[in-house]
Amino acid sequence: MEKNIPTLEDLARLDREDPLNWTRDEFEMPTIKACGGEGEGEAIYFCGNSLGLLNKRARQHILEELDVWSTSTVTGHFKHPHNRPWKHVDAPLTPHLAKIIGAKEEEVAHSSTLTSNIHNLFMSFYRPTEKRWKIVIEKGSFPSDWYAIHSHPKLHDKVLSQEQIDNAVIGLSPREGEETLRTEDILKVLEDNKDTIAIVWLPLVQYYTGQLFDIATIAPKAHEIGALIGLDMAHGIGNVETKLNEWDVDFAVWCTYKYLNAGPAAIGGYYIKTRLDDGGRRLAGWWGNDAATRFQMSPDFQPTPGAKGYQHSCTPVLSSIPLLATLELIDKVGFPNMVAKGRQLTGTLATLLQASRYYVDAKDDQSRVGFKILTPDAPYRGTQISIAITPEGKGTMPRVFSRMIQRGVVGDERQPSVIRLSPVVLYNKFEEVGKTVQTLELALKEEEEWQKNGGDVDVKDHDIISKE
Ligand SMILES: *Cc1c(COP(=O)(O)O)cnc(C)c1O
């Protein structure tokens, strides 16, 4: 597999010629020091899959809201000098969100946080019967999803026997020796349990492996067997092409602090396909009531048709409005252009990783110092590539990870052996991809020496970024 391996000069040229290279200036880039490393200058932040960076306009929006709070006080709900009355603070967000997820505006609501939204939607759409009560989820799912899903069958103990509750969750796992799920295997589980599955719950992009699921193929099968399909889009939204209507997804949730840069623990959102909203079963609150009559304070609950009818509380302004900055930026750039650049950035990362002398493939000795790649090849991934540092365990990964941090490369670690690297379209550069791989190689080289010498190498002796 001899691909053209780009040099740092090639990558710098790609950055200069990149029509989207201006968007980086919209963000506040962290310094190496602030990220825990040593040296001057900006860190290489490849952790936007976990917490997106601060958009400069988001800072401005928050300051504006503080000023409105200070000066307009309660009237800010209705009259707002920046035309964002708090009563409808989600109004400018909804059209953008609908566009990037491929849905109608009335199918989108901006509310609460991701896990609470899972509970909200499961209260409405998980309606188990004695015959059909099971939920499909990956065994390796994000723990919050796993806990949330397991809690729902227990709420139906009048309908389900204890044995049914105990068997309600079908956990999907990859084949022996494989890291990610095969679509054909998922389809087979659906077929094998076709009379008992109520809901298929999957991520759009898997948080740990970076796998992008083939929802266009899985959703029709879920419907064929009479189940609903719901998606966790935490790592998908703002990252990969998303066509909820076209794929015919029933419901979905997301957070906004990852690829949408809305800030730590910012507000989440959800999607409900129009045909699912039967006007009935839900957890109700005044914000789900029709906006036109909400302030009449009537005792009769009249839900807003569509997803917004499933909201509970007034929308948190300070954790919502930072989102506007990135949504407007995405609109300016064009989401398809972002997705295309994301493929190119991540494709470059994959090429450089696979060309590294530290790359360990399935046929190699798994006990040598190096890394495996967990993430599938394009097109089954977003911008994130997850690598597992070898030999696994033995504290190898944390040492390698901290050497990278020391030099200003910020990925994130997942014990025991995984490092996730996500070059984010809106603020990362091609050149950073090259430097990240060099830094990883250096950290691994030091690990080789460390293991050979029984553990004493002065990591500060090398600094590849200042040397090149
Ligand atoms: C980030 C993430 C969450 C976080 O849930 P919160 O309720 O926002 O804390 C949940 N599930 C997945 C898959 C995630 O990636």
Residues 149 and 226 placed together within one structural domain of the fold: yes
Q: What is the CATH number of the domain that holds 442?
A: 3.90.1150.10
Residues 188 and 206 placed together within one structural domain of the fold: yes
Domain carrying residue 18:
8-54+334-452
- Residue 464 confidence (pLDDT) above 80: no
Give domain status of residue 462, yes or no: no
371 labeled part of a ligand binding site: no
Q: How confident is the model at residue 211 (pLDDT cuts 50, 70, 90)?
A: very high
Between the CA of 266 and the centroid of ligand 1 the distance, in Å, is 11
Residues 341 and 311 placed together within one structural domain of the fold: no
Residues 123 and 270 placed together within one structural domain of the fold: yes
Distance (Å, whole) CA 343 – CA 258: 18
**pLDDT of amino acid 463:** 40
- Residue 465 confidence (pLDDT) above 50: no
| pLDDT per position as a tens digit, 119-146 | 999 999 999 999 999 999 999 999 999 9
Closest residue CA from atom 8 of ligand 1: 114
Lowest mean per-residue pLDDT among 2-6, 67-71, 368-372, 374-378:
2-6
Give domain status of residue 113, yes or no: yes
Residues 270 and 183 placed together within one structural domain of the fold: yes
Q: At 243, which helix (H) or strand (E)?
A: none
Residue to probe by mutation, ligand 1, list 50, 113, 141, 144, most atoms within 8 Å of CB: 144
Distance (Å, whole) CA 137 – CA 398: 29
- Residue 242 confidence (pLDDT) above 60: yes
CB 348 within 8 A of CB 171: no
430 labeled part of a ligand binding site: no
Q: What is the rounded average pLDDT of the residues 209-216?
A: 98
Give domain status of residue 69, yes or no: no
Q: What is the CATH number of the domain that holds 188?
A: 3.40.640.10
Residues 266 and 226 placed together within one structural domain of the fold: yes
Pick 366 or 201 by higher pLDDT.
201
Give domain status of residue 301, yes or no: yes
**pLDDT of amino acid 456:** 54
365 labeled part of a ligand binding site: no
Between the CA of 239 and the centroid of ligand 1 the distance, in Å, is 15
Global confidence as pTM: 0.95
Residues 302 and 422 placed together within one structural domain of the fold: no
Residues 207 and 356 placed together within one structural domain of the fold: no
Q: What is the rounded average pLDDT of the residues 275-294?
A: 94
Residues 104 and 195 placed together within one structural domain of the fold: yes
**pLDDT of amino acid 1:** 47
Q: What is the mean pLDDT of the chain?
A: 95
Q: What is the rounded average pLDDT of the residues 156-167?
A: 98
Residues 265 and 321 placed together within one structural domain of the fold: yes
> Which residue has tokens 């491929």?
102
Of the chain, the end-to-end C-alpha distance in Å amounts to 27
Distance (Å, whole) CA 458 – CA 80: 57
- Residue 317 confidence (pLDDT) above 60: yes
How many CA atoms are closer than 13 Å to the CA of 102, on its beta-carbon side? 18
Between the CA of 457 and the centroid of ligand 1 the distance, in Å, is 38
Task: Enumerate long-range contacts of 361-366, CB under 8 Å, 24 or more apart.
Answer: 362/177, 366/390, 366/391, 366/392
Residues 208 and 134 placed together within one structural domain of the fold: yes
Q: What is the rounded average pLDDT of the residues 365-378?
A: 95
96 labeled part of a ligand binding site: no
Closest residue CA from atom 6 of ligand 1: 114
Residues with CB under 6 Å of ligand 1 are 113-115, 142, 144-145, 203, 207, 232, 234-235, 255, 268
254 labeled part of a ligand binding site: no
CB 21 within 8 A of CB 15: yes
Report how many domains make up the chain.
2
Give domain status of residue 71, yes or no: no
**Within 51-108, where are the H helices?**
56-72, 94-101
Q: What percent of the chain has pLDDT over 90?
A: 92
Distance (Å, whole) CA 449 – CA 442: 11
Can you name the residues that pair with 421 across neighbouring β-strands? 385
